[in-house]
Chains A and B, each alone.
Chain A
């Protein structure tokens, strides 16, 4: 299996630079997930690695070999597409065999390889069927089979689970994780679904506007976001962001006038320094009257069974999200007091950089 290395990779659509000089290394056997909002360039970057988009600047290396000028089939990559991209006029068997036949493999070898792959994915009974006679999940398994059968160095997944229903998505996610364990393959997975990213990835690459905002393990990206963008993008519900200023003694001054001590001691910088405090929803809690730092009105309560997500509007007009117990008593329109737990909180400067 091969490592993938991107060195200053750029892509232009017309005069617009959509991939802005990305440097990244995906190690041999690693499963890396690209996440980011729509239009951030994650699928374009994946297609550049596959050779389906030209690289306008920089280099793409697979197993140490520069492949920017190579045709997609010569790069040792296989790709699974969002809409499966199975050839509709061919049976599942022919879909799996097509690439092997193109490579000039003998008929008997093609047959054994296809059947071996079908057995691995438990799709042997689907082999005679055409895609239109399969369910979404079956099609996706065949699409994964088409990628596996070629024994590529790198697997590329372009939002492969987006078209599946919730239950099937969970099943396919675990199947991909199992395949990664069994094949020990290098995999790059594009998704906008954070749950997929957090559960599958060895490392997550957060992309925004054609740049890499942060690369790290799911825990690193969640608990130590490099900047305001990552903090607000990763995590569902999103991190709460509150404007604060540094007090004379290095403490935190909230908009409400409440003062709090920063867990590490003092906030760096001069008094009056404007910062943004980031707090995950589970660090906010409902407290009794006169015990909270912030008060607000509940304007939405999402009861999810074991937990309740409360959306609260503060007196200063800020929207806060709280993750509470399933039996939290708050209801729509209630005036509530919110306590802040600064453990694991983040501070960002006005440019969005993490400072503490």
Chain B
């Protein structure tokens, strides 16, 4: 006899309500992004038109040309600065934090847990607390106005990423490292040739987190950089909006192109992002 599966009406209603609520919440979060995206293809009058134009008509691609050719907003230059800044920090973080995590997770030395505890305590310390002495230090070194103060600290690790990577390093079998020691590998070589290949995915996750964090970073560049040609996009967009408050369409086009790389990055690597978030909280 043919079996038919029947879903209880109450269950159907529950599912419908659940999805309706989730869609409504999603719409609230997506609305500003959608508004930014359609505004990038309107002129100022269309942006503030009443009634609201929910889709740009016509699609004004000239905003894009205008953005890329303006003298007072070196978008491409600042885009390149952001790419350089984000990739440098990602490389620095992956290098330094994986070394520290290897030490905390794979090596045994006296005081290891204490030092790791202190490192994790750094997570609780707001950056603003140490800002002034650090700023004075870089000023004394004469490196204000360069990317050194923004990138160099990441070569000395970051508490959150060290903590996150250590969780993964703890999962690497100790025997692998022992075997490499018996094979005559130095600790640095073990880290580089044996352990890092085992934590390749977590390392990529950390790199992605670092890129997203740096791409959106605003306070550091605001404090240390003075030359507009040196600004990353986060700061460049802000200074443009501050100076040209009425040019909403260009601002929105800039905002869209600034956000777009991170959106694409997230869509391409969202599985890794979810994995990273789960592992940093659950392990």
- Min Cβ gap A92→B in Å is 14
B173, A85: Cβ atoms closer than 8 Å:
yes
B175, A73: Cβ atoms closer than 8 Å:
no
Bound: A221/B17 CA distance, A: 74
Q: Which residues of B have CB within 8 Å of A82?
A: 175
Given A72-B181, A78-B182, A99-B182, A83 and B194 contact (CB-CB distance below 8 Å): no
Given A87-B194, A88-B198, A81 and B184 contact (CB-CB distance below 8 Å): no
Within A36-88, the residues touching B (CB, 8 Å) are: 47, 50-52, 71-73, 77-79, 81-83, 85-88
B183 within 8 A of A: yes
A71, B181: Cβ atoms closer than 8 Å:
yes
Within A92-132, the residues touching B (CB, 8 Å) are: 98-99, 102-103
A85, B181: Cβ atoms closer than 8 Å:
no
B62 within 8 A of A: no
Given A73-B183, A98-B183, A99-B183, A52 and B178 contact (CB-CB distance below 8 Å): yes
Chain A: interface residue count, which band? 20 to 34
Q: Which residues of A have CB within 8 Å of B176?
A: 85, 87-88
Bound: A103/B179 CA distance, A: 14
* Residue among B173, B180, B182, B189 with most chain A CB within 10 A: B182
Bound: A72/B187 CA distance, A: 12
A87, B179: Cβ atoms closer than 8 Å:
yes
Q: Which residues of A have CB within 8 Å of B182?
A: 50-52, 72-73, 77-79, 99
Within B129-156, the residues touching A (CB, 8 Å) are: none
* Residue among B173, B175, B197 with most chain A CB within 10 A: B175
A85, B175: Cβ atoms closer than 8 Å:
yes
Bound: A81/B182 CA distance, A: 12
Q: Which residues of B have CB within 8 Å of A99?
A: 182-184
B257 within 8 A of A: no
Q: Mark B159-186, 1 if CB is under 8 A from A, else 0.
A: 0000000000000010110111111110
B178, A81: Cβ atoms closer than 8 Å:
yes
A52, B181: Cβ atoms closer than 8 Å:
yes
Q: Which residues of B have CB within 8 Å of A47?
A: 178
A103, B173: Cβ atoms closer than 8 Å:
no
- Min Cβ gap B193→A in Å is 8
Q: Which residues of A have CB within 8 Å of B184?
A: 71, 73, 99, 102-103
Q: List 20 A-B contacts (CB under 8 A).
A: A52-B178, A71-B184, A72-B182, A73-B181, A77-B182, A79-B179, A79-B182, A85-B176, A85-B178, A85-B179, A87-B180, A87-B194, A98-B183, A98-B185, A102-B183, A102-B184, A102-B189, A103-B184, A146-B179, A146-B183
Give B contacts to A, CB under 8 Å.
173, 175-176, 178-185, 189, 194, 197-198
Sample of 4 further A-B pairs with CB below 8 A, known A51-B181, A79-B179, A85-B173: A71-B184, A87-B194, A102-B185, A103-B184
Closest CB pairs A-B (n = 10): A73-B184, A99-B183, A85-B175, A102-B184, A89-B197, A85-B179, A81-B175, A72-B182, A72-B181, A52-B178
